[in-house]
């Protein structure tokens, strides 16, 4: 059956009811994908009786997906302008050009280029009565310089409970991704969730951002599993 707007909610509802995992894969973020992600999250949380987390989880997953897609598109952009993304000097030059050039139309263009090269982002939803976790994986490794900055932002965000306060204190040295990381951790704190349940795992061939949401004391986190 074709995934038309009319039958998509019923299809998602059926999938959620019969599974404990749903995956999406894309090389770009657009309104259609965002609606699909929101629909999946909504149906999962209705099934589990945890609708109060809908807005938080959707905001976090959307932020992680946008960051992952942009990171992948950035790599292709550097290739196109002939700069080495792993060289700090060339990175500094290229990132300025990337920010100056970035637009919705550019995102569409580089989404297509990523798709041609097999560069993508996968969103995996895992859910049970005890809790759920979502992994956003892009199949490229994180750049070391960006990983260092990202870890610094995660550490810094632990000190805050308000995103506006974080922004005001860090407005001179916070890029969009850094602000997004702070937003995720502060949203979790506001829901009385341990921000350590948000993790970014770097591997030689991929980068995984994971958020865990326990619903009761039976949930065992990756950290407690030793993973």
Residue 148: pLDDT band (50, 70, 90) is confident
- The pLDDT tens digits for 98-126 are 989 888 888 889 999 999 999 999 999 99
CA torsion 59→167→136→100, rounded to 10°? 110
Pick from 5-14, 132-141, 148-157: least confident: 5-14
121: left (phi over 0), alpha (psi -120 to 50) or beta: beta
Question: So what's the pLDDT on residue 6?
Answer: 56
Q: In the predicted model, what is the mean pLDDT of residues 120-149?
A: 92
Cα distance between the two ends of the chain: 39
Is-contact 154 185, C-beta < 8 A?
Answer: yes
| 97-128: burial string, b at 16+ Cβ within 10 Å, e else | ebeeebeeeebeebbebbeeeebbbbbbbbbe
Question: So what's the pLDDT on residue 175?
Answer: 54
CA distance 16 to 177: 30
Q: Which domains does the chain have, with CATH numbers?
A: 8-225 (3.30.565.10)
Q: In the predicted model, what is the mean pLDDT of residues 87-105?
A: 90
Is-contact 142 203, C-beta < 8 A?
Answer: no
Residue 4 pLDDT > 60? no
Could you give the residue ranges of the DSSP H alpha helices within 49-162?
54-81, 88-101, 104-116, 144-157
- The pLDDT tens digits for 153-190 are 888 888 888 877 877 776 655 455 567 888 899 899 98
CA distance 186 to 157: 7
């Amino acid at each position: 059956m074709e995934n038309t707007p009319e039958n998509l909610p019923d299809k998602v509802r059926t999938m959620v009811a019969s599974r404990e995992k749903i995956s999406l894969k894309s090389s770009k973020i657009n309104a259609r994908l965002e609606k699909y992600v929101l629909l999946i999250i909504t149906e999962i949380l209705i099934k589990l009786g945890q609708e109060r987390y809908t807005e938080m989880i959707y905001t976090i997953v959307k932020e992680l997906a946008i960051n992952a897609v942009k990171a992948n598109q950035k790599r292709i952009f550097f290739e196109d302008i002939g700069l080495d993304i792993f060289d700090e000097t060339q990175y500094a030059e290229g990132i300025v050009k990337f920010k100056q050039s970035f637009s919705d139309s550019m995102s569409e263009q580089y989404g297509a280029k990523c798709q041609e090269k097999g560069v993508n982002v996968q969103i995996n939803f895992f859910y049970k009565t005890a809790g759920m976790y979502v992994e956003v994986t892009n199949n490229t490794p994180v750049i070391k310089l960006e990983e260092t900055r990202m870890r610094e932002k995660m550490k810094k965000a632990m000190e805050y409970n308000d995103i506006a306060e974080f922004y005001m204190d860090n407005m001179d040295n916070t890029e969009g991704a850094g602000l997004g990381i702070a937003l995720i951790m502060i949203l979790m704190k506001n829901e009385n969730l341990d921000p350590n349940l948000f993790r970014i795992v770097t591997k030689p061939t991929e980068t995984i951002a994971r958020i865990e949401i326990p619903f009761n004391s039976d949930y065992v986190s990756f950290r407690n599993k030793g993973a």
